[in-house]
Amino acid sequence: MKWSSPRLPLLCSFLTLLVVGASGFRICAYSMQDFNILKAKNFLLVHTLTRIVSRCDITLLQEVSDPDGSAIKILESSLNRYENYTYRALTSVGLGNSPDNMQQYVFIYRNDTVNVTDQHQYRKAQSFLREPFVVKFHSEKTEIKDFILVPLDSDHDRAVQEMDRLYDVFLEVTKKWNNTNVMFLGDFHASCGYMTRANKKNIRLFTNSKFTWLIGDRVDTTVTNQANCAYDRIVVHGRPLLEAIRPLSAKVFNFAKEFKLTKTRALALSDHLPVEVRLKGSALLLQAMPLLILLSMSAIVQSFLSAL
């Protein structure tokens, strides 16, 4: 007996809304350690990466070396083959200080829950090794509808200076879009030998109280046991965006532990762990939740009865 019904697409839409409303809207950042076509052709690596990225509505990938886009296309195909959402990728140009050291920022997002409304490549001579590729997003599923993501994969030799210069990026994009709901995320090298407690007085994202660091200094964002460093960070500006974040949702996702992988298997992807945070669902969606549950249950019952 085959169970099929014209109501199933509607049911799937309802269930998608229920999942988003219940779990919140997840934003993630993962430093990939040279994700290129060779890694993309490794089925086990792409399978693991698909499981990591599929948890998130938006994922920032760093250290991507994919000039023709073929590696990201393989990941996109994997996500769209196995997941219930439609994923799209937005990629920066190659950034770096030499032809042999060009890398890209890549945002992979669920087109069902969020849209890109604008993008901006920050350009200022000698400010960053890899200038932030800033993206403005809009989602009807979140309490904050329009927000800006600013990525940074810092040069470890100039980590303090580059973290401080994120404030200049903030001034530029908030003026450009008249929106101060800004989140900074990525591998800042904001720990251990690259940033000390004394360095904080030279970083405006620390000295200005309007910025909140959601990943603390004592959090370990590395895979190996040899290091215990909070390299990867998430920082938000302003009270409206901060209040739109689910309390205590900013954390490291230890996929090796979650997926029961060996350290060797995890390190094949990167020596970093992803960081993430969740935004609260929209008030209208939460208010509609009881009705959505009733409609979904009704659709399930009717579909089952029609199959008998």
Per-residue confidence (pLDDT) for residue 299, from 0 to 100: 52
How many residues belong to the chain? 308
Question: What are the residues whose beta carbons fall under 8 Å from the beta carbon of 152, sequence distance 6 or more?
Answer: 128, 130, 132, 162, 163, 166, 184, 185, 186, 187, 188
Cα–Cα distance list, 276 to 45, 244, 249 (Å): 20, 15, 8
Q: Does an H or E element contain 182, and which?
A: strand 182-187
Per-residue confidence (pLDDT) for residue 307, from 0 to 100: 52
Contact 36, 71 (CB under 8 A): yes
In CATH, the number for domain 26-280 is: 3.60.10.10
Per-residue confidence (pLDDT) for residue 305, from 0 to 100: 47
Output the tens digit of pLDDT for each of the chain's 308 residues: 434 444 444 444 444 444 444 568 999 999 998 999 999 999 999 999 999 999 999 999 999 999 999 999 999 999 999 778 999 999 999 999 888 889 999 999 999 999 999 999 999 978 999 999 999 999 999 999 999 999 999 999 999 999 999 999 999 999 999 999 999 999 999 999 999 999 999 999 999 999 999 999 999 999 988 889 999 999 999 999 999 999 999 999 999 999 999 999 999 999 999 999 999 998 655 444 444 444 555 555 455 445 55
- Kindly report the pTM of this predicted structure: 0.86
Query: Assign residue 103 a region: left if phi > 0, alpha if psi is -120 to 50, beta otherwise?
Result: beta
Question: What are the residues whose beta carbons fall under 8 Å from the beta carbon of 302, sequence distance 6 or more?
Answer: 5, 7
Per-residue confidence (pLDDT) for residue 224, from 0 to 100: 87
Angstrom distance (rounded) from CA 81 to CA 64: 22
Angstrom distance (rounded) from CA 135 to CA 146: 11
Q: Classify burial at 153, counting beta carbons within 10 Å of its beta carbon; exposed 0-12, middle 13-18, buried 19 or more.
A: buried
Query: Which residues belong to CATH 3.60.10.10 in the chain?
Result: 26-280
Question: What are the residues whose beta carbons fall under 8 Å from the beta carbon of 24, sequence distance 6 or more?
Answer: 246, 249, 278, 279, 280, 281
Question: What are the residues whose beta carbons fall under 8 Å from the beta carbon of 154, sequence distance 6 or more?
Answer: 128, 129, 162, 163, 186, 187, 188, 189, 190
Per-residue confidence (pLDDT) for residue 304, from 0 to 100: 46
Question: Beta 58-64 vs 25-35: how paired, if at all?
Answer: parallel
Contact 230, 217 (CB under 8 A): yes
Round to the nearest angstrom and report the end-to-end CA distance of the chain: 8
Q: How many beta carbons lie within 10 A of that of residue 48, not counting itself?
A: 19
Which residues, listed in sequence order, are joined to residue 108 by a DSSP beta bridge?
Answer: 59, 89
